[in-house]
């Protein structure tokens, strides 16, 4: 007998629909509770759906719409502020030739949400979890609209500001500010950019800039701007787009490359927002509640793995609930399986963040050492372990890694 027959899935972003579909495949009826009344997820700009995430979606037969929403980006060219090519790194390739894709976050959300609904999964919007009570036979979630629901388990897919996380452990550490601000956008009508499907990432003197050229020539871009102290509530929103353009002009004035041209061709973009991570969460679960994805282990966007790790989590958790007899046992097995992998990726992304805007001595050392590292790791086992990670749905929970 499986550990659960019913589940409350809290959070309807990317992890929520993926988890609900994985649970349904395991024979567990799930209802998704989404805080946003309109159901949209427009946070962020574009994200990477890495090959390991695509492979995980294939186990759910849900990869088609998600992949179609983006375009292939098989590698990244890294340059310094003078335009010097430091090297190229792969973003993964599956055995059949499938490579990682870049996709607008809202489009990936929509593809997974629509697929879940098409499979008969109920998604209730405008329901923000505020409390939960666990008992010997189940868990009851209470939402801010006054409604409540009961199920065998509650799964927190509610992101880096997770309410579920604090219900499991009121002493849970808060997300950590990474020291970087970010925003991005889409620019059309430019020439002389990298060929379609290629990523260019530039270690600028004062800030980091990255872009990929989409089919049709549109530039999808983002910035990482160092700021040692986290901005206060509303501080960034008070800076106008015109003011940001002026600041970018100063930040990228000494850099080769198309950063200022691309930003100048972008009609509008959101104010910068701080990047937060969740490096290590001591407790992932209680007896009947568990957190997955960014709620448990949010990496920096530098990793290109946030969405893909969440989808992997969904598969592994569903197999654990399918194969083990108690929720607590299933959650413990899930954590044992996932923690080493995700925390290794989170740490690697944090190291990369530290190299995005060093001083003159740091730039010299980076430009000297990074090409050597990139050549040495081009076909390294560690890189393959990230992008070629495969979860065998038919394997028993205890044999997954």
- What digits encode the pLDDT tens for the residues 349-376? 887 777 666 677 777 778 888 777 777 6
The per-residue DSSP string of 329-361 comes to: HHHHHHHHHHHHHHHHHHHHHHHHHTTSS--HH
Does residue 163 contact residue 170 with C-beta atoms inside 8 Å?
Answer: no
> Which class is 6-71+99-175+278-356 in CATH?
alpha beta
Q: Which CATH number fits domain 176-276: 3.10.180.10, 3.30.9.30, 3.30.1360.30, 3.30.930.10?
A: 3.30.9.30
Q: How many CA atoms lie within 13 A of 277 on its CB side?
A: 23
Query: Computed from CA positions of residues 328, 16, 55, 201, in that sequence, does the dihedral angle turn out positive or negative?
Result: negative
- CB neighbour list of residue 267: distance below 8 Å, 6 or more residues apart: 185
Buried b (16+ CB within 10 A) or exposed e, 315-337: bbbbbbbbbbeebbbbbbbbbeb
Please give the Cα distance from 69 to 106 (Å, whole number): 10
Across the range 29-37, mean pLDDT stands at 95
pLDDT band for position 82 (50/70/90)?
very high
Signed CA dihedral, 371, 374, 377, 382: sign only: positive
Q: What is the DSSP letter of 269?
A: -
For 33-41, what is the mean pLDDT? Answer: 80
Instruction: Give the mean pLDDT of 47-60.
Output: 97
Task: Please list the residue range(s) of the chain that carry CATH number 3.50.50.60.
Answer: 6-71+99-175+278-356
Average pLDDT, stretch 220-238?
A: 92
Asked whether the beta carbons of 25 and 18 are under 8 A apart, the reply is no
* Strand pairing class (199-203; 122-125): unpaired
Q: Are 125 and 113 in contact (CB under 8 A)?
A: no
In sign, the C-alpha dihedral spanning 94, 99, 105, 109 is: negative
Residue range(s) occupied by CATH 3.30.9.30 in the chain: 176-276
Distance (Å, whole) CA 398 – CA 260: 51
DSSP 8-class letter at 99: B
Mean pLDDT for 198-205 is 93
List the beta bridge partners of residue 150. Answer: 140
SS (H, E, C) 155-208: EECCCCCCHHHHHHCCCCCCCEEEEEEEEEEEECCCCCCCCCCCEEEEECCCCE
Nearest 5°: the CA angle 75, 205, 349 is 45
Q: Is 41's pLDDT higher than 60?
A: no
Give the model's pLDDT for residue 344: 93
What average pLDDT does range 261-266 have in this prediction? 96
């Amino acid at each position: 007998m499986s550990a659960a027959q019913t589940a409350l899935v809290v959070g309807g972003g990317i992890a929520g629909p993926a988890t609900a579909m994985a649970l349904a495949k395991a024979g567990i009826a799930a209802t998704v509770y989404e805080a946003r009344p309109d159901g949209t997820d427009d946070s962020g700009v574009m994200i990477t759906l890495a090959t390991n995430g695509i492979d995980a979606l294939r186990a759910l037969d849900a990869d088609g719409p998600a992949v179609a929403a983006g375009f292939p980006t098989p590698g990244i060219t890294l340059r310094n502020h003078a335009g010097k090519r430091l090297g190229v790194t792969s973003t993964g390739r599956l055995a059949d030739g499938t490579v990682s894709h870049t996709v607008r976050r809202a489009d990936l959300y929509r593809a997974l949400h629509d697929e879940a609904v098409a499979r008969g999964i109920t998604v209730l919007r405008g329901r923000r979890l505020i409390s939960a009570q666990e008992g010997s036979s189940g868990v009851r979630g209470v939402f801010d609209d006054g409604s409540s629901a009961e199920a065998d388990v509650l799964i927190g897919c509610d992101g880096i500001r997770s309410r579920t996380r604090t219900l499991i452990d009121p002493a849970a550490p808060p997300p950590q500010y990474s020291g970087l601000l970010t925003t991005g956008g889409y620019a059309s009508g430019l020439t002389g950019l990298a060929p379609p499907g290629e990523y260019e990432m530039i270690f600028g003197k004062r800030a980091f800039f990255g872009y990929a050229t989409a089919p049709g020539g549109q530039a999808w871009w983002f910035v990482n701007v160092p700021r040692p102290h986290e901005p206060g509530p509303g501080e960034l929103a008070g800076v106008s787009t015109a003011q940001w353009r002026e600041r970018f002009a100063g930040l990228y004035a000494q850099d080769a490359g198309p950063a200022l041209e691309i930003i100048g061709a972008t009609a509008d973009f959101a104010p910068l927002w701080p990047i937060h991570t969740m490096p290590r969460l001591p407790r992932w679960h209680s007896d009947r509640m568990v957190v997955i994805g960014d709620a448990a282990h949010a990496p920096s966007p530098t990793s290109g793995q946030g969405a893909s790790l969440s989808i992997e989590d969904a598969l592994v958790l569903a197999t654990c609930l399918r194969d083990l007899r108690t929720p607590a046992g299933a959650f413990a097995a899930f954590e044992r399986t996932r923690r080493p992998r995700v925390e290794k990726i989170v740490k690697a992304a944090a190291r990369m963040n530290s190299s995005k805007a060093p001083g003159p001595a740091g730039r010299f050392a980076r430009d000297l050492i990074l090409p050597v590292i990139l050549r040495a790791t081009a076909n390294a086992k560690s890189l393959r372990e990230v992008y070629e990670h495969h979860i065998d749905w038919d394997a028993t929970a205890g044999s997954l890694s």
